[in-house]
C-alpha cells in the first residue's frame, strides 16, 4: 500500500495545532501546503512536520497559509444593502455573531450598518480560529488601502486618520467582542438573531459544511438571519429549515 504522507501529516498537525485539516477540501489544502513545504526544500511532509515542531517561525507561517485571512470592509456592498433592508423589517435588539471574522473588517462593517442603516440596539460576537487575526482586529488600526472600500461618509464618521493608518473609533468597537473559536470543534453560542459567516464554508468538505450549517441553524432563534458569502448559497436551504429572503441571506423558519 502506498503510504499517504499528506494524510499522516494532517493527523499530526491536529496534535500540534488542534486544527482538523481533514474537514477542509483536500486538493486546495494539499496544493497550498505542498508549495509552502517545497519553498523550504523539504522533500516530504514528514520532514516538514519535524521542522514545524522545532521552529516557531515556520509554525506561524504555516498557520497563516492554512487560515487565509483575506477580508474587506463592505465586501460585496450590495449584499450589505440587502442585509440592512432585511434587518429593518424586524424589531428589537440584535444579538449577532460574525464567525470567521479575520481582522475584524466584517463585524466592524456590521457595526457601521447597524448604527446608520438599521438603528436597532445590537451587540456582536466576532470570532476566528486565528489568534493573530484577532489581535489585529482588537487594535482597530487599518491601512489606507484597507479602508478604501469604506464609504467616504462612514470613513469620516467612524475613523481617525494617523498618516497611513486609520483608527476605528472605540465608541463603535465597544459593540464588538472578539473571541477565538474553531467552527469545527468549539461549542456554538445560542439565541442569536443574526449569524454572518462568509468565505470560509467554501474551504470545508461537504460533510463539514453540513455540520457547521446545522449548528448555525440551531444557534439561531426562530426568525433569525444567516448571511453567507457570495459563492456559498444553499441549494437545499429548506432542509435546514432556512428560507432565502435575499441573495445569500436566509431566515430560520419559525415553527408553527
Ligand X SMILES: C[S@@+](CC[C@H](N)C(=O)[O-])C[C@H]1O[C@@H](n2cnc3c(N)ncnc32)[C@H](O)[C@@H]1O
Binding site for ligand X (CB under 6 A): 67-72, 75, 100-102, 105-106, 128-130, 133, 182-184, 198-200, 229
Q: Does the CA dihedral 66-29-106-155 come out positive or negative?
A: positive
Q: Give CA–CA dist 107/98, Å, rounded.
A: 6
Name which of 42 and 213 has its Cβ closer to ligand X. Answer: 213
Name which of 71 and 251 has its Cβ closer to ligand X. Answer: 71
Closest approach of ligand X to the CB of residue 193, in Å: 18
Name which of 50 and 214 has its Cβ closer to ligand X. Answer: 214
Closest approach of ligand X to the CB of residue 163, in Å: 25
Name which of 232 and 253 has its Cβ closer to ligand X. Answer: 232
Name which of 128 and 193 has its Cβ closer to ligand X. Answer: 128
Degrees, nearest 5: CA angle 187-253-76: 75
Name which of 102 and 118 has its Cβ closer to ligand X. Answer: 102
Closest approach of ligand X to the CB of residue 3, in Å: 27
Helices assigned H by DSSP within the chain: 5-17, 26-39, 45-54, 56-67, 77-88, 105-113, 131-139, 144-147, 152-158, 170-173, 206-219
Closest approach of ligand X to the CB of residue 234, in Å: 17
* Residues 216, 188 contacting (CB under 8 angstroms): yes
Closest approach of ligand X to the CB of residue 256, in Å: 33
Instruction: Give the Cβ contact number of residue 117 at 10 Å.
Output: 14
> Nearest to residue 153, comparing CAs of 102, 126, 107, 117?
117
Closest approach of ligand X to the CB of residue 102, in Å: 4
Closest approach of ligand X to the CB of residue 67, in Å: 3
CA-to-CA dists, residue 182 to 8, 21, 127, 135, 254, angstroms? 22, 12, 8, 16, 28
CB proximity list for 63: less than 8 A, separation 6 or greater: 17, 130, 132
Name which of 45 and 248 has its Cβ closer to ligand X. Answer: 248
Following DSSP, what letter does each residue of 219-250 receive, concatenated? HEEEEEEEEE-TT---TTGGGGTEEEEETTEE
> Nearest to residue 172, comparing CAs of 198, 143, 140?
140
Amino acid at each position: 500500500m502506498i503510504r499517504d504522507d499528506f494524510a499522516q501529516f494532517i493527523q499530526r498537525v491536529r496534535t500540534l495545532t488542534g486544527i482538523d485539516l481533514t474537514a477542509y477540501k483536500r486538493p486546495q489544502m494539499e496544493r497550498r501546503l505542498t508549495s509552502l513545504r517545497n519553498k523550504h526544500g523539504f522533500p516530504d511532509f514528514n520532514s516538514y512536520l519535524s521542522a514545524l515542531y522545532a521552529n516557531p517561525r515556520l509554525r506561524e507561517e504555516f498557520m497563516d497559509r492554512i487560515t487565509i485571512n483575506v477580508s474587506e470592509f463592505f465586501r460585496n456592498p450590495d449584499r450589505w444593502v440587502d442585509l440592512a433592508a432585511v434587518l429593518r423589517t424586524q424589531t428589537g435588539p440584535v444579538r449577532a455573531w460574525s464567525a470567521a471574522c479575520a481582522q475584524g473588517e466584517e463585524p466592524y462593517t456590521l457595526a457601521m450598518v447597524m448604527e446608520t442603516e438599521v438603528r436597532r440596539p445590537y451587540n456582536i460576537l466576532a470570532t476566528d480560529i486565528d489568534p493573530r487575526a484577532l489581535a489585529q482586529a482588537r487594535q482597530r488600526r487599518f491601512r489606507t488601502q484597507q479602508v478604501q472600500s469604506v464609504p467616504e461618509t462612514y470613513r469620516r464618521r467612524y475613523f481617525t486618520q494617523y498618516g497611513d493608518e486609520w483608527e476605528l473609533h472605540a465608541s463603535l468597537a465597544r459593540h464588538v467582542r472578539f473571541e477565538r473559536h474553531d467552527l469545527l470543534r468549539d461549542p456554538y453560542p445560542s439565541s442569536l438573531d443574526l449569524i454572518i459567516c462568509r468565505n470560509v464554508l467554501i474551504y470545508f468538505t461537504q460533510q463539514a459544511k453540513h455540520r457547521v450549517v446545522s449548528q448555525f441553524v440551531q444557534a439561531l432563534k426562530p426568525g433569525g438571519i444567516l448571511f453567507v458569502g457570495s459563492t456559498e448559497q444553499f441549494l437545499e436551504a429548506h432542509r435546514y429549515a432556512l428560507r432565502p429572503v435575499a441573495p445569500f441571506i436566509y431566515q430560520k423558519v419559525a415553527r408553527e
